[in-house]
Amino acid sequence: MKIKEIIVVEGRDDTAAIKRAVAADTIETNGSAVGESVLEQIRLAKETRGVIIFTDPDFPGEKIRHTVSQAVPGCKHAFIPKESAKPKHGRGIGVEHASPEAIRAALSAVQEEMTDAPLVITGEDLLDAGLIGHPLAKARREKLGALLRIGYANGKQLQKRLHMFQISREAFGRAINEILQEEARHD
């Protein structure tokens, strides 16, 4: 599988994991303090080939994703579920621990940013679905992010992410129903 876009990753171990899975070029941010020279490389990459942001499913990875996305609007995003980013032995979480199959799956489900479309899912929808202000809200957001392939987002960021990736009310409703049915089976 060859990827046309340049993939933004956190470090050289992530680059190695990507190259084991697909034929692709990467830009490494080398941590969450993304410098202006790296942002310039990403801007050029977006203009010439396109960019896919593929960071770890943790707080620093989300911070990098946000920084790059704000500085270079219109990037594509690949998300890997936390369970696919854990090492077989030891601690940590990251793209570097993911299998080639998990990386290919994430890259085949890339999401594209859309910021000028009307808001589809409201804060009231999130409250009604128990995604905010509910004892199971965090677990539900984790499951929703995996089902919709938009990654985990906290309560404040979820509505923005649903909007950014233009998740339809129908897709949102199907995912919420699946989450609630799974919870009911475990009761």
Confidence of residue 78 (pLDDT cuts 50, 70, 90): very high
pLDDT tens-digit series, residues 89-114: 888 899 999 999 999 999 998 988 77
Instruction: Please name every residue paired with 8 in a beta bridge, in sequence order, or none if there are none.
Output: 27, 53
Domain extent listing, the chain: 1-113, 115-187
Q: Could you tell me if residue 74 is left (phi over 0), alpha (psi between -120 and 50 degrees) or otherwise beta?
A: left
Span 141-168, average pLDDT: 89
| pTM reported for the whole predicted model | 0.74
pLDDT at 88 (0 to 100): 83
Distance CA 12, CA 176 (A): 37
Summarize pLDDT for 113-137 with one digit per residue, the tens: 776 666 789 999 999 999 999 999 9
User: Percent of the chain having pLDDT more than 70?
Assistant: 97
20: Cβ contacts below 8 Å, ≥ 6 apart:
100, 103
Residue 162: half-sphere exposure toward Cβ, Cα within 13 Å? 25
Half-sphere exposure of 113 (CA within 13 A, CB side): 18
Q: How far is CA 171 from the centre of its chain?
A: 17
Q: What is the 3-state secondary structure (H, E, C) of 78-119?
A: CCCCHHHHCCCCCCCCCHHHCCHHHHHHHHHCCEECCCCCCC
Topology of domain 1-113, CATH:
Dna Topoisomerase Vi A Subunit; Chain: A, domain 2 (3.40.1360)
Say what percent of the chain tops pLDDT 90.
71
Task: Map residue 161 onto helix, strand or coil.
Answer: helix
- Segment 38-49 mean pLDDT: 94
- In the block, residue with structure tokens 């089976």: 185
Query: For residue 165, what are its two tokens?
Result: 């990736």
